[in-house]
Amino acid sequence: MREGAHLAGGSDGARASGGERPAFDTKVAHQARIYDYWLGGKDNYAADRKAAEAAIAAYPGVATGARANRQFLARAVRHLAGEAGIQQFLDIGTGIPTANNTHEVAQSAAPESRVVYVDYDPIVLIHARALLASHDDGHIDYLDADLRDPETILGQASRTLDFSRPVAIMLIAILHAVGDDDDPYQIVARLIDAVPPGSYLALSHVASDIDPEKIAEATARLNQLSHQHFTLRDHAEVTRFFTGLELLEPGVVRVEEWRPVSELEGRNRSAMWGAVARKR
Ligand SMILES: C[S@@+](CC[C@H](N)C(=O)[O-])C[C@H]1O[C@@H](n2cnc3c(N)ncnc32)[C@H](O)[C@@H]1O
């Protein structure tokens, strides 16, 4: 194993095209640290725990949903690096490192996998070094950049990824942090446009139409207590992200229903839609 690559990006070149990026502030809850708390991690502060617990009080399923989402990520990457033969991953909305990070799953199936991580949160940047330990045959980079600025991401990712060959674009549990004003459908279309046929999109998103009252209350509490504002979307709205792509079976489903490998995995209930699709 070796330390892969360098930290690319930098806050100046990676400013959002709209809206603010979170500053490092331990007094305000951040999505990455709330999620870390739900996953049982230790990289969170009192404000994050307060927001995370407030959401759990409104909807106890959010913590099991986070775990189900994480398992979906691992199954999707395992499929892509294994059966689908993908060796390049653009993982936007990396989060704080935990078990089964994208490069670990991908490189255990295909050691030569090249992975570019992207996140806009300074706390994730601080932890990025932990993500850069690549298998010798592969390569990993980290970009401190904003999803709402896809041109910067694509430009900097091209130092590591060959965009003439298939790439898996991973947008796992991030798009609900992009409001309609920032045109998330246009952002996803731009990313898909940059990759050749045979590429994939793996995506998950908090649902507005699963346990709708509870999830709406949990989201309202998070929106009040955290830096980010969350926009829930229903099944049809999440399916729209895959326009023009060929959805793999079983389509857009609750994340725990996407090819669970054990009964236990299938039982971790979530209020999240997820799917994997191929560019024709
Ligand atoms: C809930 S975590 C998901 C982590 C991982 N993808 C997973 O599903 O386990 C969402 C991550 O997206 C990041 N994020 C949210 N909005 C973003 C944006 N506009 N640009 C880049 N990263 C963003 C947050 O900082 C956070 O680390």
Which residues, including other chains, have CB under 8 Å from residue 44's CB and lie 6 or more apart?
33, 34, 36, 37, 52
Could you report the per-residue pLDDT of 217-236, keeping only the tens digit for each?
Answer: 999 999 999 988 999 999 99
Could you report the per-residue pLDDT of 94-128, keeping only the tens digit for each?
Answer: 999 999 999 999 999 999 999 999 999 999 999 98
Could you report the per-residue pLDDT of 26-74, keeping only the tens digit for each?
Answer: 999 999 999 999 999 999 999 999 999 999 999 999 999 999 999 999 9
Could you report the per-residue pLDDT of 169-210, keeping only the tens digit for each?
Answer: 999 999 999 999 999 999 999 999 999 999 999 999 999 999
CA 19 to chain centre: 19
What is residue 243's DSSP assignment?
T
Stretch (H or E) spanning 252 = none
Q: Is the pLDDT of residue 8 over 70?
A: no
Q: Is the pLDDT of residue 239 over 80?
A: yes
The pTM score is 0.94
| Pocket around ligand 1 at a 6 A CB cut-off | 31-32, 35, 69-70, 73, 93, 95, 118-121, 124, 146-148, 172-174, 177-178
Ligand 1 mutation target, pool 120, 149, 222, 227, most atoms within 8 A of CB: 120
Stretch (H or E) spanning 236 = helix 235-239
* Greatest alpha-carbon span in the chain: 49
What is residue 240's DSSP assignment?
G
Instruction: Work out the mean pLDDT of the chain and round it to a whole number.
Output: 92
Encoded tokens for 141? 């980079």
Residue nearest atom 16 in ligand 1 by C-alpha distance? 177
